[in-house]
A and B are shown apart, each in its own frame.
Chain A
Amino acid sequence: MVPLNWYLVLAALIFSSGLYASLARRNAIAALMGIELMLNAVNINLVAFWRYGEFVEQLDGQVFALFVIAVAAAEVAVGLALVISVYRSRKTVNLDELDLLQG
């Protein structure tokens, strides 16, 4: 079998790219994509720890991952609706131009 390390390092790499995308990108949709990548990385970790764990007949790792997928679907729907709504009123989706609440 593939060592557990490999899965965890892969997840860390995906998480880092997601972190970079959500922190550094100017476009709101690109930042949302970064969040999706991070959620996927966490899911890989959950499933990998389930598979290599001691109680493989208890499926909690998979159940958690499915819940994360459902929450991600809800999150992306609301996020993109917000982006479209902001675009309609401000004609921009650049995160650094959306500083209405800045003091």
Chain B
Amino acid sequence: MPGLDALPFPLPTVQQIIFVLIAGMTVTGALITALAPNLFHNALGLVLAFFGVAGVYVLLEAEFLAISQVLVYVGAIATLITFAIMLTRGMMFGRTSSTNRLMLSAAIISVLFFLVMTGLLVSVAWPEAGAELASSEQMIADLGELFVTTYLIPFELMALLLLAALAGAILLARD
């Protein structure tokens, strides 16, 4: 019996196995979101996909972003979407199909987009590994500093945008 070194392909590392698990979860969630006919199942699939994306951020060593992803997407956006589904009830179990008449062309466009992108991405020689990172505490401190130095004006504009958007949302949604 040949040893493990004699295998024709390199064994996957632990990180690669974890990536495949997380990616599988994310893709499952995304496909449920896109394809399931029931709107509520879509929302649950979306939550699964959001958690998966947070896992991808952890694998990429962007911990702050992973926490923000869970807080903002899972905590706020998924909840908002669930609320909207409940408030527009009756549309949840439609009498007609869940897709419109563009369904076939949309499917063709999406599959073609994926195939072209994959073909392009696989053919490029990307760097194999990133450089070593500083400690994550240092990184989060640097991130905070960037927001009040280099990106000060975009940061303030973002605050203004959020304020305007939330005030506008309240204005639109009330009677």
- Chain A residues within CB distance 8 Å of chain B: 1-10, 12-21, 23-27, 29-30, 32-34, 36-37, 40, 43-44, 47-48, 50-54, 56-57, 59-60, 62-63, 65-67, 69-78, 80-85, 87-88, 92-96
Contacts and interface: CB of A to CB of B under 8 A. Distances in A.
A12 B88 CA distance: 31
Contact of A78 (B133, B154, B172): B172
A72 B168 CA distance: 15
Contacts of A50: 60, 62
A18 B98 contact: no
Interface of B: 13, 15-16, 19, 23, 26-27, 30-31, 33-35, 39, 42-43, 46, 49-50, 53, 56-57, 59-62, 64-65, 68-69, 72-73, 76-77, 80-81, 83-85, 87-88, 91, 94, 96-103, 105-107, 109-111, 113-114, 117-118, 121-122, 126-134, 139, 142-143, 146-147, 151, 154, 158, 161-162, 165-166, 168-173, 175
B105 to A, nearest CB: 8
Given A14-B30, A93-B91, 4 more contacts: A14-B27, A23-B102, A40-B49, A56-B130
**Which applies to chain B's interface (DSSP): helix, strand, loop or mixed?**
helix
17 contacts: A1-B128, A10-B27, A13-B114, A14-B26, A17-B31, A17-B35, A19-B110, A23-B109, A26-B94, A26-B100, A33-B33, A36-B73, A37-B46, A44-B57, A56-B131, A57-B134, A96-B101
Given A40-B49, A73-B77, A74-B162, A62 B65 contact: yes
Given A29-B81, A57-B134, A94-B91, A65 B65 contact: yes
